[in-house]
Structure 1
Amino acid sequence: MALAQRSQRILTCVLGALASLALTAPVVAEELKMAPAPQAAGDRPTRGMSMERVEARFGPPVRRIAAVGDPPISRWEYPGFVVYFEHHLVIHAVGPGERG
């Protein structure tokens, strides 16, 4: 009986010591530097929009790049973004510094 009490007492002391060490451990945080948030999605065409809808909503592009490849991928350049089309539908719109 005395051995069981002694073992329990030692266990309690060890657990108490570990708990106090865990509570006093230094807190370390890493500072993340992130790029500014991209333009809101509402300010650009969304996937699946037709060329006609894009032009109706955003006006004519500054520059139209002819389609290349199979399937044909074309590009329209606007002042704040570039729109990529597959056939006549938007597949992606990217802002400055983003990759398409």
Structure 2
Amino acid sequence: YNWVVRGNPRSMVGVDDQGRLLLVVVDGRQVGWSSGLSITGGAELMKSLGAREALNLDGGGSSVMVTTGSGIVNRPSDTTGQRSLSNVLLVRPNAAGR
């Protein structure tokens, strides 16, 4: 129950009214940087970004966003460093979107 109401790192995905994909990672558990979001806070954030549909994905230390050009672009919460993750959501533009 605590992970629902307490602020935690969150990974979320959503779609807006124009069909655009929203990928959101919120840092957390880092005093002076970010305390994270509750499930309600995550829903409110996604709604404020224009999501008409949204899902909360795995969170905590698994909340990492990586881009081709910049590598890790957020501050993952694990104090032991970067986690080895067994899953990924990979987004590649199609030929028409280039």
TM range (shorter): under 0.3
- Higher RCO, 1 vs 2 (CA within 8 Å, ≥6 residues apart): 2
Structure with higher Rg: it is: 1
TM-score, normalised to structure 1, is: 0.19
TM-score, normalised to structure 2, is: 0.19
